[in-house]
């Protein structure tokens, strides 16, 4: 199932170029407690939501996909986890361009560990990446986004993929500089997730997906998730030893070589096999 949020925070199911408005499926969810410390409430209750949405589909209001504004398919992630330099060729391009990537960020994910991005940086593909520091380089980074589906703590690698609710395309936008990653990657609009979340049952092998990113029609990044240094199951196991993962947490699983600059007026096209494709506008907005 392809689950999205669209327009004025309406949940939808995407099928064959159509978005079905299944807002009524939210009634199947129990009332959230306050304070709610258990994660994104729809992801916590994903099975209930899917069952209710499936019943609604035959009579649900529908909209052409091109007519709606797609928001992040996860509305309230507890945290966004970044996995840096997780493709060997990206490690090599970073090491070869110290002026851009700095000495602080050479070596692979195994040396550098994970990082966190601010939730306030999250947008969907129907919203624009806003460059508020045009005097500095902003780079695109396409990544497979994995959405955690249930609470995970000290998860063994052999069971880790069973903790995933679904997958989406992620753009880990980055301002280059010497500051810590968590600062430079947390600008408003610098975490893009979309175009929808494909539930995990529809992705047979997340480590065998082609990914591609174009800017203004020209290829920048082309790779396959099999090229990761640290596979997704390893990422979940590793992260869950440091902090508890909650439903709705998003792991941006690392980017491949070919990262490059974008400026106001550019159009980013990102696609990942088994998920789909999305176009994201870039604007300059202080």
Q: What span, in angstroms and rounded, lies between the C-alpha atoms of 19 and 25?
A: 14
For residue 205, the tally of other CB atoms under 10 A from its CB is 10
- DSSP lists the bridge partners of residue 218 as 215
Is the pLDDT higher at 283 or at 38? 283
Predicted local distance difference test score (pLDDT) of residue 230: 94
The residue whose two tokens read 């529908």 is 62
With helix as H, strand as E and coil as C, how does the chain read? CEEEEECCCEEEEEECCEEEECHHHHHHCCCCCCCCCCCCHHHHCHHHHHHHHHHHHHHCCEEEHHHCCECCCCCCCCCEEECCCCEHHHHHHHHHCHHHHCHHHCCCHHHHCCEEECHHHEECCCCCEEECCCCCCEEECEEEEEEECCCECCCCHHHHHHHEEEEEEEEECEECCCCCHHHHCCCCCCEEEEEEEEEHHHCCCCCCCEEEEEECCEEEEEEEHHHECCCHHHHHHHHHHHCCECCCCEEECCCCCCCEECCCCCEEEEEECCCEEEEEEEEECC
Q: What span, in angstroms and rounded, lies between the C-alpha atoms of 55 and 234?
A: 36
pLDDT band at 38 (very low <50, low <70, confident <90, very high): confident
Q: Quick: pLDDT tens for 190-238.
A: 999 999 999 999 999 999 999 999 999 999 999 999 999 999 999 999 9
Predicted local distance difference test score (pLDDT) of residue 71: 98
Domains of the chain: 2-70 (no CATH), 80-284 (3.90.850.10)
Q: Quick: pLDDT tens for 85-106.
A: 888 766 677 666 666 666 565 6
Predicted local distance difference test score (pLDDT) of residue 45: 97
Sign of the CA dihedral running 87, 90, 96, 102: negative
For residue 218, the tally of other CB atoms under 10 A from its CB is 8
Predicted local distance difference test score (pLDDT) of residue 244: 97
Predicted local distance difference test score (pLDDT) of residue 36: 84
pLDDT band at 155 (very low <50, low <70, confident <90, very high): very high
**In the numeric block, which tokens belong to residue 272?**
């990942």
Predicted local distance difference test score (pLDDT) of residue 234: 97
Q: What average pLDDT does the structure give for the chain?
A: 94
**In the numeric block, which tokens belong to residue 44?**
């916590």
**In the numeric block, which tokens belong to residue 127?**
């919203």
Predicted local distance difference test score (pLDDT) of residue 280: 98
Whether 126 shows a pLDDT value over 70: the answer reads yes
CA distances to 9, 59, 69, 156, 158 from 126, rounded to whole Å, are 12, 26, 5, 37, 36
The proportion of the chain whose per-residue pLDDT surpasses 70, expressed as a percent, equals 94
Query: Contact at 8 Å (CB) between 209 and 144?
Result: yes
């Amino acid at each position: 199932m392809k689950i999205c949020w669209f327009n004025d925070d309406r949940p939808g199911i995407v099928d064959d170029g159509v978005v079905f408005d299944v807002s009524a499926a939210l009634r199947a969810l129990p009332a959230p407690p306050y304070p709610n410390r258990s994660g994104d409430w729809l992801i916590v209750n994903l099975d209930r939501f899917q069952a209710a949405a499936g019943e609604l589909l035959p009579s649900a209001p529908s909209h052409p996909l091109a007519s709606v504004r797609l928001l992040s398919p996860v509305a309230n992630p507890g945290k966004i986890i970044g996995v840096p330099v997780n493709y060997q060729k990206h490690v090599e391009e970073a090491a070869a361009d110290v002026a851009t990537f700095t000495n602080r960020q050479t070596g692979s994910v195994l040396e550098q560990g994970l990082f966190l991005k601010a939730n306030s940086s999250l947008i969907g593909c129907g919203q624009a990446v806003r460059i508020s520091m045009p005097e500095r380089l902003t780079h695109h980074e396409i990544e497979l986004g994995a959405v955690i589906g249930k609470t995970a703590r000290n998860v063994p690698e052999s069971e880790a993929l069973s903790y995933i609710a679904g997958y989406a395309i992620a753009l880990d936008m980055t301002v280059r500089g010497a500051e810590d990653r968590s600062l430079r990657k947390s600008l408003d609009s610098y975490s893009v997730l979309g175009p929808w979340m494909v539930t995990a049952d529809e992705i047979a092998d997340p480590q065998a997906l082609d990914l591609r990113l174009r800017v203004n029609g020209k290829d920048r990044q082309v790779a396959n998730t099999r090229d990761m240094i640290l596979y997704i199951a390893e990422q979940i196991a590793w992260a869950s030893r440091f902090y508890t993962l909650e439903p709705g947490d998003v792991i941006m699983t690392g980017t491949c070589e070919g990262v490059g600059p974008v400026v106001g007026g550019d159009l980013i096209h990102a696609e990942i096999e088994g998920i789909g494709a999305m176009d994201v506008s870039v604007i300059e907005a202080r």
